Amino acid sequence: MLRSAIMKTPTALFRFLFIAGICATGLQAAAIKHEFVALDEGLANLLHIDENAPAKNWLVPVGAPHARDLQLIGGNRLLVGHETGYAEFDLASGRKVAEVTSFSGVASARRLQNGHTLLVGVNLGGATGVVVLEIDAAGAVVNKIVYPGNYVRLMRQTAKGTFLLMTDTTIREGDATGAIVWEAKVDGFRHAWKAVRLPGGNTLASAGYGGFMAEIDPAGKIVRKFGGKEETPAAIMAGFYATFQLMSNGDVVVANWQGHGPGHGASGVQLLEFDKSGAIVWQWSEAAKISSLQGVLVLDGLDTAVLHDERNGIMEPLVSGAGAVKK
């Protein structure tokens, strides 16, 4: 009956198809699926998940303690920073293809376009403080920068070539001489994990045990806060926001870490995607596969053949001329 009424006039038919198209588009947009890699700190595993092609999934041990950092480095390889240096994994198979293990206390690792790698940690290379080492492919130190401090987690470079360092309750920005050029002590930060500089000058950061995401202006004031316990369902268990990724559409995907060691797989929802309004639009957590996820890197639309970085906030290819530390 409805169909016959609709088909009586071209105008009615057009209106029906238009509305149906909107509904179909909305349903498609709601069904977000990602391809990603994640670090399971609780079980010391690295996993690759493709929600559109599960046959491509794999899970392998990292083979080193305290793996914390992830970077797409080109050649279909993933760089994983860990306690003693870094390892490189083939993205198709999960096979470890290279490793440097001659250091101690590494918290973050970043590949440069010149092939060198930055290692960040406390008291590295015989220096005291928060240290950034630039090492060559053989693991030899070619440059060292030392900042004051006794705690650091992930490091990201800015478009200016400075370094954003997460030092517990404070974000510090340092230059190539070892000078601190900006810092923001943020209320609620505790073991804060990662920060990226946004094109407008604000900084987006994960609060660690604070259990929220925050956008901070140049004066150090929180101008946007989302993802906290008071804003998310209890089942999410927003406890420790660790590695995050700013997506090209403005969404933020973050790892919601649940605790050290095994046995946390059924605790909370461990990967979350927030839209610009702070609403959760995607989530992933599989208790049978994981214990406690701490790192995440979404691969959707990224060219795994080239080196990527977050100097402009989002994950994008590292352009020519941005490969070496500016001295």
Residue 57 pLDDT more than 60?
yes
Q: Note whether 19 and 147 are same-domain residues.
A: no
Answer yes or no: is 326 within a domain. no
Answer yes or no: is 259 within a domain. yes
**CA 139 – CA 116 distance, rounded (Å):** 9
Answer yes or no: is 327 within a domain. no
Q: Note whether 16 and 56 are same-domain residues.
A: no
pLDDT (average), residues 81-85: 98
Cβ atoms of 96 and 58 closer than 8 Å: no
State pLDDT tens for residues 292-305: 999 999 999 999 99
Nearest-5° angle of CA 96, CA 99, CA 102?
150
Answer yes or no: is 324 within a domain. no
Into how many domains does the chain fold? 2
Q: Note whether 108 and 12 are same-domain residues.
A: no
Q: Residue 9: its pLDDT value, please?
A: 41
Question: In 63-168, where do the E strands start and end?
Answer: 69-74, 77-82, 85-90, 96-100, 106-111, 117-122, 130-135, 141-147, 155-157, 163-167
Q: Note whether 27 and 45 are same-domain residues.
A: no
236 in helix, strand or coil? helix
Q: Look up the CATH number of the domain holding residue 162.
A: 2.130.10.10
Answer yes or no: is 84 within a domain. yes
Q: Note whether 17 and 93 are same-domain residues.
A: no
Count other Cβ atoms within 10 Å, centred on residue 59.
15
- Reported as a pLDDT band with limits 50, 70 and 90, residue 7 is very low
Q: Note whether 194 and 214 are same-domain residues.
A: yes
Answer yes or no: is 322 within a domain. no
Answer yes or no: is 250 within a domain. yes
Q: Note whether 6 and 115 are same-domain residues.
A: no
Residue 43 pLDDT more than 60?
yes
**CA 204 – CA 267 distance, rounded (Å):** 26
Q: Residue 319: its pLDDT value, please?
A: 72
Q: Note whether 69 and 124 are same-domain residues.
A: yes
Q: Note whether 3 and 121 are same-domain residues.
A: no
Answer yes or no: is 323 within a domain. no
- Indicate the pTM of the whole model: 0.89
22-36, 262-276, 310-324, range with the lowest pLDDT: 22-36
Helices (H), the chain: 2-6, 10-30
**CA 185 – CA 177 distance, rounded (Å):** 22
Q: Note whether 21 and 124 are same-domain residues.
A: no
Q: Note whether 10 and 61 are same-domain residues.
A: no
Starting at the edge strand found earlier in the chain, the sheet holding 222-226 runs 194-197, 203-206, 213-216, 222-226
Q: Note whether 13 and 133 are same-domain residues.
A: no
Q: Which domain holds residue 21?
A: 1-31
Residue 2 pLDDT more than 90?
no
**CA 320 – CA 96 distance, rounded (Å):** 27
Report CA-CA distances (Å) from 80 to 34, 73, 286: 20, 10, 22
